[in-house]
Structure formats: C-alpha cells, structure tokens
Amino acid sequence: MQNLMENKTLKNSGITLMALVITIIILLILAGISLNMLAGNNGVINHTISAKEKSEISDEKEHLEVAIVQAMGKHKYGSLTQTGLSTQLEEIKNSMPTSVESDEELNLLFVTFTNSGRVYQVNSDGDVTYLGNLAELKNSATITASPESNTTPQLVQYVDLKVETFVGLEDDEIFVHYAWTNSESKTPSNTDYAAAICNVNSNKKIRSVTIKNSFGTHEADETSWDVSASQNRTYLAWSKATTDATDGTIYDVVIEGKGGVVANTNASYLFANIGSGLTKQEVTITGLEYLDTGLTINMGDMFSGCKSTTLDVTKFDTSKVEDMSYMLSGCRGLISLDVSNFNTMNVTNMVAMFQECIKLTTIYVGNNWDTSNVNVSTSMFSYCNKLKGDISYNYSYTDKTYATKTGGYMTYKPST
C-alpha cells in the first residue's frame, strides 16, 4: 500500500467533480481511513453541520434507505444494483432528483441528490454513509500510508498515515482533525472508532470471539495487540491461527480487560460477518456479559451476517442506543433471541433489524421494549418466516407495527 499511496496527488484537470470526489473516497478507503470516522455519529461532519442540515440529511438518508429496500426486494437475488437503485429512486412518490454512480471494483454506489448536492455512499448490504456536499469538497488530496497492508486477518490494523488538503467542509477544516503525520501511529480504539474489536474484512475466518474480564496466560504462538484508546494496554486482544482441511486458516480471538471491555460509542459492525466464511466450524461469541455498552449510541449492523447460533445479549445496556438498523440482519443460525433487558426508548432506526433471521422462532422482550420513537423500521422482520409470537409470521407484516407483545411477533419475558 505504501507504494500505491505514496505522494499520490489528485488534480482537477479535465475530470468531473463527481469523478474526482469518488476517486478521493476510494483512495481514502485504500489508505485505511474509516468513513465512520468522518460521517458516523461521532464523526467530524456531524459535529460541524447545522441542525437544519442534519434534518435535511436525515430526510435524504431515509428517502435513500426506502429506495434501497425496495430495489433489493425486487431483485431476484436480493442484490443492490446501480440500475435497480436508480429506478426505485425515480419511482418513489415525491421523489428527490438524484444521480447514481458505481464503482464495481469496490462494490460501492455513490448517490448524489441534485438539489442539495449531497453525496452518499451505499455498500452492497444497503448501508448508507453521508460523505459530504459536492460544493464544499476540496479539489485535491495527497495521501501517504505505511506499512503495507497485513494479509493476516487482525482485529486492529496499525497504520502510519498522512493526509493533506483532505476532503472537508469549507467552514471547518476537517483535514486538520485528521492530518496525521508519519510520526504517529493510529489504531482503532474503544472510543474513537467502531471496529476496535473486530475487523469486518477479516471476520469471515474467525471461528470464535471470547471477551474476558481479566488478563490470562497465553501460548507463545498467539499474537497479541493493544486495543485500548490510550494505547496503555488497558485492553488486549489475542488471536491464534489453526489450519482446517476444509476452511483453511481459521482464527480464535480473545479480548481481555480488567473488569471487562468498554464498547465504542459507535459499535456498528463490531461483530459483523463473524465466521461467515467458514463451512464446517461451529462459530461462537462468548463473554458478551463483559462488554459494557452503556456509552453506545449506534448498534447498526453490530452482528449482521454473524454465523453464531446463539447470542447472549441479556446484559447489554441499550439505554443510549439510537440506531439498531440491521443489528442482527442475516444471522441465519439464530433460533431464539432474548432482548428482554433491552431499553429501546431512544431508538429511532430499526430498519431490517432482524431481516433474514430465517430460523428465528422466538424473540423475548421485556418491560422496556418501546418502539414509540422509532421513525423508520422498513423490513424489520423480512424473511423471518418461522417467527411466532402473539401472531404467526406474515410476509406482509414486517415493520415496527408488529414488534409488539400483543398482536405482534414478540414474546414477553420479565426484565431482570
């Protein structure tokens, strides 16, 4: 990656602004910069835009999310394509004029709302990230990164990164916040990056994740690294690789901290795709009772695509969570789920929360299960064909209306 990124300079010379922006974004992705760091709940963008613009962005994202769900629903294999999304955006009532461009190599779509000039990234799973306003984007960027990408799956990737004249808003120099020099080593951590514990691109080969509330003794062939925000070894992660005749190299991971591990404010994708690339292994995530989620606001896609057949989230503190979209989407092995201790009073987004949990029969909810503030819940129960609560599953009933104990799919269990 060092050779690829070193002294790479973009200049606005005869290419469209949109093409330039997409090129910059792709370079940032290749350099290892998480878009969540810019556009997530704690990202710089969200701290610098006005309340009015935040409302407009929310409206555009909701408009886009509805079109995405419809486009994927109409596709034969549930895939999201440039043509399908463009068509649905045009067909939506009170449609906002948009343009959709595609990067096939990275499997990403970029949607620009014509009137506002705002650009959104959409990945193959339909997840939406606000990138910025075309009129406010800089026209050049110089990026260097080292060392070369490590091909061994790790839960944290260390990188020395330098960014100059970074994509940013005119009224606030985002690039100053993220203009890291080569003398500094940045790593995802439990307070400043969503993927502190697990790396989405590597998770497919992880057979087990275990969280512990104390430090133990490990074997000499296990690899360890510091995942604490302050890099003072408050939290350590360990991994051990073994070889399977069918699945090749597989990994068992342990995360340890004295008294447990504090989850990020943005915990999206934290355990996404764990074990999804394994065919014969039993996939497990244990010790979730030692994961403190009291500060977490975003749990979107937290377990999406995870292959584990059981998840004990009974100790989760969800009192501050606002986003649970796609939280358990694609967890095809789950049979029952106990969220009876979830407090969902602040949650506003439950889009596709349980989508494609095809074996799920029972969801237990307790006294603080409250969806009154949820304003978007499309496809919340799509393809949960075996789910049954007060009523049996009906493919036409998939939004929050049926996330109830009476007249819905939920089963009551007293909170503890």
pLDDT value at residue 230: 63
Q: Are 143 and 180 in contact (CB under 8 A)?
A: no
Q: Are 362 and 336 in contact (CB under 8 A)?
A: yes
Q: Are 114 and 98 in contact (CB under 8 A)?
A: yes
Q: 11 by DSSP, 3-state: which?
A: coil
- Helix%, strand%, coil% for the chain, nearest 5: 20, 25, 60
pLDDT value at residue 135: 63
pLDDT value at residue 222: 58
Q: 26 by DSSP, 3-state: which?
A: helix
Q: Are 181 and 56 in contact (CB under 8 A)?
A: no
- The DSSP bridge partners found for residue 113 are 98
Alpha-carbon span 177 to 197, nearest angstrom:
23
Q: Are 178 and 37 in contact (CB under 8 A)?
A: yes
- The DSSP bridge partners found for residue 223 are 239
CB neighbour list of residue 376: distance below 8 Å, 6 or more residues apart:
62, 65, 325, 348, 349, 350, 351
Alpha-carbon span 59 to 57, nearest angstrom:
5
The tens-digit pLDDT sequence of the chain (416 residues) is 333 233 333 333 344 555 555 665 655 555 544 444 444 444 434 444 567 888 888 889 889 999 999 888 888 778 899 989 998 898 886 778 898 988 776 678 888 898 888 888 888 888 888 877 766 554 434 444 444 444 444 444 444 433 333 333 232 222 222 222 222 233 333 333 223 344 434 577 888 889 998 877 665 555 666 676 666 667 777 778 888 888 888 888 888 888 888 887 888 888 888 888 888 788 899 999 998 899 899 999 999 998 999 999 999 999 999 999 999 999 999 999 999 999 999 999 999 999 999 999 999 999 999 999 999 999 999 999 999 999 999 999 999 999 999 999 999 999 98
Q: Tokens representing 342?
A: 């979830």
H-state helical runs in 76-163? 82-91
